[in-house]
Structure 1
Amino acid sequence: MAATTRAPTTPAPSTAAQQLARGQARRPDPPPIQRVRRRRRPSGEPPPLPRHLNASGKWWLALSGVVLVSVLVVVATRSVAFVDLVDTRVLQGIAGIRSPGLTQVAEVAGVLGTSRAIHVLWLLNIAVLAVFRRWRHLLIWVVVGILVVNVAATAAATLQRPRPYEVEVLGPWLGYSMPSLPMTVLATFLVSSLYSLVPAGRRRNTAKWLVGALLLVTAASRLYLAQDHPTDVVAGIVLGVAAPLAAFRMLTPNEVYPVRYRRGSPAHLDVTGARGEAITRALQDQLGVVATAVTPFGLAGSGGSTPLRITVKAEGDEESCIFGKLYAATHLRSDRWFKLGRTLLYGRLEDEKPYHSVRRLVQYEDYVLRLLSDSGLPVPHPLGIVEITPEREYLLVTEFMQGAREIGEADIDEAVIDQGLAVVRRMWEIGMAHRDIKPANLLVRDGTLFLIDSAFAEIRPSPWRQAVDLANMMLVLALRTDAPTVYARARLQFSDEEIAEAFAATRGLTMPSQLRRMLRAQGKDLHAAFLDLLPYRLPPVRIQRWTWRRVGLSLVTLVALLVTVGVVINLLGSPL
């Protein structure tokens, strides 16, 4: 229509926009915080929350190394006569106490070492981990299982040790005996279940004794039935325990990936115990603030980090609060999968390049926050970055907005509406886009609006991305007021062309999930209400974009899924 060719008219900026542009929209300074002398960690000293392998894990790894070296020695020298002699004498001694009753008991006691029992254990663990969406534990469970089975099978095929001779074998057996493949796989699966399903602490310690008892009973059964040599059983248990124990302790430490069954987002890390102490110590060493309490805060509105309210010492005997966002490697991986999924489903909505390290992620958000603050935008004062574990965990520290409420719960008047619209106008002027404007990221305190959470902000975004910010801001402001009021105030700072483009670029996909939920809960179609107020409409901006990169990623993902399914099916059907 003819309106698309008309020259844009820019309305005169409002008072709120003029104040933001001149940096005159002042807000109270954050409460004073008592500072102490900072301490630089000397070279070689472990970080506040180090990654470690306990003494038991080191012993198991050492024993597995001994087993592997012994296998190499035997293969190289072909001298197993002494080991065979000792094993045979032990089995002959056990065979001397056989009786029909004990044989029946041994057959029942060895049921966990059967192929069917191990397959059931495998499927149950996969089902439980998938139901509780513990994907990292599930991945390690599967990878360790496949790795140990193949290593044990390769070692057995290399050694080619026959089953015990000069002793009657009472139970079923298959293949070579060194190491005992059933004992290796059973130990691997039981230890993997222990570290992926049982919460750390007293319950896990009790479960360790149970796992040890099950392995002991199964081993005793197989020795009584002469299905394996004693050294076969020992080697199998050592390999089966060492591999999953080291993998889970190093890749899923309790401090970072706790096993828990209460509801909650996997992005929200536990900040009690060792991690809480590490945060307190790191804050004092690196920022010079003395923290007295670290508690989660505002978890409902956060899905990509762990937001924290940190109580610190202020002047005299008083206390104050600062805000912290805890980022870990799990958030980095979630960000990568999230961006990969968006690329596969929608093409490139905006910059979907993943971060390569947790450090880069935190550095970028801190930089953007300082850029917004220096531009006069009403954002929390940045206070610095705290390193918890190098390259794995960092804490972004800012001012805590004491007494502020989410905009979805606060009273909104025309002054607050003008401030919200002025924030978008100012971001356009400095070449920024927030990309996540939703009620949880807009706070109101004493009639002043604050913009928080700049994690997704983009520098020099596309015009489409900036237009989406305007529409989302208008929708959020209309949740507590109405569309006509917000539209009337918007025309004081934006032209009809700019508003029409904003709603042409915005629909369900580009709205944050919290905003969509609140719109559905109110039963209002605010998007349609704004469209009805426009003097004209622009055609919707196309979102779906097919590129060679998207096609290639889709094909690679499909092939990877097919290969994974094939490996799992092959493993489930392989005999032990």
Structure 2
Amino acid sequence: MTTLPRAVSVVGPAAGPGPPAIRRVGRRRRPSGEPPPLPRHLNASGKWWLALSGGVVVVWVVVWATDNVGWFDAADTAVLQAFERLRSPALTEVAEVAGVLATREAIYVLWLANLLPLIVFRRWRHLFVSIAVGLVVVNTGAGVAATLQRPRPYEVEIIGPWAGFSMPPLPVTVLAAFLLAIVYSLVPAGRKRTVCKWVVCGLLLVTALSRLYLGQDHPTDVAAGVILGVAVPLAAFRLLTPNDVYPVRYHRGRPAHLDVTGSRGAAIVRALEDQLGLLATQVEPFGLAGSGGSTPLRITVKAAGEGESCVFGKLYAATHVHSDRWYKLGRTLLYGRLEDEQPFHSVRRLVQYEDYVLHLFTSAGLPAPRPLGIVEITPEREYLLVTEFIAGAREIGDAEVDDDVIDQGLAVVRRMWEIGVAHRDIKPANLLVRDGRLVVIDTAFAEVRPSPWRQAVDLANMMLVLGLRTDAERVYRRARRQFSDEEIAEALAATRGLTMPSQLRRLLRQQGRDLHADFVRLLPYQLPPVRIQRWSWRRTGLTIATLVMLLLCAAVTADLLRSPL
């Protein structure tokens, strides 16, 4: 890349009135063994169901080891004979209708009724957990039944259809698991979910009474099947899709935006005081429209004197790391690796990296918010990055952009080139203007020692953002003061639809003009477009592995549907 023999001014910090001094109190170190501000826990009901399932497993082991179920058979037979004495043609018809949910066809309909909405609403984590729950319950139930080999009830006439061994009854076990999966993956938490749980309880009770009346199962079989069918999805959904991280909701909004009221809000306030010494009085979402990978917050804290001040917080959770990992995998399969990058494997590393980049930006004189520290909400699951709040700033798409602001934006790119950093997410939402000074925010995707291609893309995206509020000729004229024609031509050759942030692409479409083409027409010469979509051994291997995994999932699902119920 050609070096520029011009004098380039170093970007200074954002001008304007700074925030009032923040009042600090003594920080408190959390003693060993004390739970974190927002502990990860399983509710009491979940613990009870897990305890019951553990008891059932112990009984199964004892029965299998001793090969003696005499007193179980005696008690079960007495109950079934009592039901047999109540039989009549009318009650038999009622029992057959009441037990329809435990038929193969009804269970398959419930299975599809759960999976299809999850696919439509793209609730992938709930979908994968639902599939895993189905596989675990069916295979565990079938394995236990084949091991125990308990026959169907003796001394009682069986007047309903049955297949396989009796302990546990697969239709009842799978029915309980699928009904719970529907409740936890499709029904929002709160009163609606509570009502649905009672409905499921009623459906299981009616189904159990029907099968006992028809003599299809022993009472202890039904109890063990229900316990297994309820405990597995209950534990799986509460641990793998906790509602405070993966809420079920149907209103518009991004899944990355977490609810900061209730217990999480109280945990944030307490953690700010203990870990940073900040006395927070209010925590509220801020600027959600421009954020898709975290939950941005405006936190009101007590100032050193009278009154209050504000700090900015970015709440990161494990779901953001998982989403970033899947996004990068999908992008690699579709387009190849756009640059040398690796996904984050923990939310702690993500927050530490952004905090480091903010320190790097501010120490290099780039106009970025001053980092104030990291707050741990839940170890390895939720962290809060706290920075200076840029009060009175407006997004560049809503601010006045003059030649001075254009020069500042271009100087930011030049300075990042000098220190070997790329922002990688230059869009209107990440460029603020306060009192005529430009401020760069959201450095989560920044890259240290990036490829020349990524540096060129930063320049092109900055020029496009500045051109949204002005025109291509004006921005190009100012860009030639800090960049050579060769560098500008390379930047415009390196960027196109895929490399532009989604917000920038959307705003360009709304304006109805091809700003990129306007810039290209101003160049004295053009460079051939830089290839983005590349096939490599890594991309080929990932594509083959993904196809194999999809085929395996399809085979396992088909095997699940062929299981005896």
- Give the TM-score of the pair, scaled to structure 1: 0.96
Distance 1:411 1:455, change over 3 A: same
- Report if the CA contact (8 A) 2:256-2:293 is conserved: yes
1:18 to 9, 19, 42: 9
Match of 2:520 in 1: 531
- Structure 1 pair 261–154 and aligned structure 2 pair: CA distance change class (3 A): same
Unaligned runs of 5+ in 1: 1-6
Query: Helix, strand or coil: the match of 2:337?
Result: coil
Which amino acid letter does the alignment assign opposite residue 490 of structure 2? Answer: E
Contact 1:25 1:376 in 2 (8 A): no
Confirm or deny that 1:263 pairs with 2:243.
no
Corresponding position of 2:133: 144
Partner secondary structure for residue 203 of structure 2: helix
Q: Is 1:171 matched with 2:168?
A: no
1:573 is displaced (CA, Å) by: 3.5
**Which residue of 1 is the match for residue 445 of structure 2?**
456
Please give the alpha-carbon distance, in whole angstroms, between the structure 2 residues aligned to 1:428 and 1:41.
42
Native 8 Å contact 2:15 2:435 kept in 1: no
Deviations 1:68-112 (A, max 9, x none): 111111111111122111111111111111111111111111111
Query: What residue number does 1:486 align with?
Result: 475
Q: CA deviation at 1:27?
A: 5.1
The Cα of 1:25 is off from its aligned counterpart by: 6.4
Q: Counterparts of 1:130 and 1:553 in 2: how far apart (Å)?
A: 23
Match for 2:147 among 155, 158, 174?
158
**3-state secondary structure, aligned to 1:568:** helix
* Contact map agreement 2:14 2:439 (CA 8 A) in 1: no
Q: 1:9 to 1:356 in 2, by over 3 A?
A: closer
Give the alignment partner of residue 499 of structure 1, picking from 488, 493, 502: 488
- Name the amino acid aligned to 2:472: A
Q: What is the 5 A alignment of 1:32-181?
A: 32-181=21-170
Matched, 1:290 2:284: no
Q: Which residue of 2 aligns with 1:4?
A: none
Contact 1:12–1:493 (Cα < 8 Å) also in 2: yes
Taking the aligned partners of 1:376 and 1:392, their CA distance within structure 2 comes to 32
- Tell me, in whole angstroms, the C-alpha distance in 2 between the residues paired with 1:150 and 1:140: 15
Q: Offset of 1:397 from its aligned partner? A: 0.8
Partners of 2:98 and 2:330 in 1: CA distance: 47
Q: Could you give the per-residue CA deviations for residues 484-530 of structure 1, whole angstroms, max 9, x where no partner exists?
A: 11011111111111111111111111111111111111011111111
The aligned counterpart of 2:320 is 331
1:278 has 2:267 as partner: yes
Distance apart, 1:26 and its partner CA: 4.9
Aligned to 1:166, what secondary structure does the other structure show? Answer: coil
Aligned ranges 1:417-456 → 2 under 5 Å:
417-456=406-445
Alpha-carbon distance in 2 for matches of 1:9, 1:327: 39
Give per-residue Cα distances to partners, 1:39-81, cap 9 Å, x unaligned: 1111001111111112221111111111111111111111112
What is the correspondence of 1:172-571 to structure 2 with a 5 Å cutoff? 172-571=161-560
Partner Cα separation in structure 2 for residue 435 and residue 65 of structure 1: 50
| Contact 2:13–2:362 under 8 Å retained in 1 | no
Return the letter of the residue paired with 1:474: M
Report the residue type matching 2:43 in the other structure. Answer: N
Tell me the secondary structure at the aligned position of residue 310 of structure 2.
strand
Letter in 1 for 2:272: L
d(CA) in 1 for partners of 2:564, 2:167: 16
Evaluate the alpha carbon distance shift between residue 475 and residue 575 of structure 1 in structure 2; reply closer, same or farther with a 3 A threshold.
same
- Percent identity at matched positions? 74
Cα separation, partners in 2 of 1:11 and 1:24, compared to 1, 3 Å: farther
- Which amino acid is 1:237 matched to? V
Q: After superposition, what is the alpha-carbon deviation per residue over 1:313-360, rounded to whole angstroms, capped at 9, x for unaligned?
A: 223441221111111111011111111112112222112311121100
Q: CA deviation at 1:11?
A: 5.5
Conservation of the 8 A alpha-carbon contact between 2:368 and 2:440: yes
- CA-CA distance at 1:575 after TM superposition: 3.4
Q: TM-score scaled by structure 2?
A: 0.98
Moved more, 53-62 or 174-183: 53-62
Q: What amino acid maps onto 2:428 in structure 1?
A: P
Aligned counterparts of 1:563 and 1:342: Cα–Cα separation in 2: 22
Quick one: distance in 2 between partners of 1:372 and 1:285? 27
Q: Deviations over 1:358-413 (max 9, x none)?
A: 10011001000110000000001111111011011111111111111111111110
The one-letter amino acid paired with 1:478 is G
What letter corresponds to residue 262 of structure 1 in structure 2? H
SS of equivalent to 2:226: helix
Deviation at 1:29, TM superposition (A): 3.0
What is the letter of the counterpart of residue 558 of structure 1?
A: L
**Secondary structure of residue in 2 paired with 1:416:** helix
Paired residue type of 1:465: R
Equivalent position SS for 1:164 = coil
Matches of 1:466 and 1:367, distance apart in 2: 19
SS in 1 for 2:281: strand
RMSD: 1.4
The answer to whether the 8 Å contact 2:393/2:432 transfers is yes
| CA distance, structure 2, for counterparts of residue 499 and residue 259 of structure 1 | 46
Q: Aligned partners of 2:130, 2:186: CA distance in 1, in Å?
A: 11
Number of positions where the alignment pairs a residue of Structure 1 with one of Structure 2:
565
Distance of 2:19 and 2:398 partners within structure 1 = 23
> Once structures 1 and 2 are overlaid, which stretch shifts more, 285-294 or 147-156?
285-294
Cα drift, residue 544 of structure 1: 2.3
Contact 1:30 1:381 in 2 (8 A): no
| C-alpha distance in 2 between matches for 1:230 and 1:10 | 84
Equivalent residues of 1:417, 1:477 under 8 A apart: yes
Alignment deviations for residues 161-197 of structure 1 (CA, whole Å, 9 cap, x no partner) = 1111111111111111111111111111111122222
Partner SS state of residue 135, structure 2: helix
One-letter identity of the residue aligned with 2:189: A
- 1:58 counterpart SS class: helix
Distance 1:326 1:187 in 2: 36
CA distance in 1: counterparts of 2:14 and 2:319, whole angstroms: 38
In 2, Cα distance between equivalents of 1:9 and 1:139: 51
Match of 1:3 in 2: none
Superposition deviation, residue 429 in structure 1:
0.8
Tell me by how many angstroms 1:207 deviates: 1.8
CA distance in 2, matches of 1:63, 1:526: 65
Is the deviation greater in 472-481 or in 338-347? 338-347
1:29 matched to 2:18? The reply is: yes
Q: CA deviation at 1:24?
A: 7.0
Contact 2:375/2:386 (8 A) holds in 1:
yes
What CA distance in whole angstroms lies between the structure 1 residues aligned with 2:14 and 2:247? Answer: 44
Residue type of the partner of 2:304?
E
Contact persistence 1:339–1:352 (CA under 8 A): no
Aligned-partner Cα distance in 2 for 1:331–1:279: 18
Mean Cα deviation higher: 438-447 or 347-356: 347-356
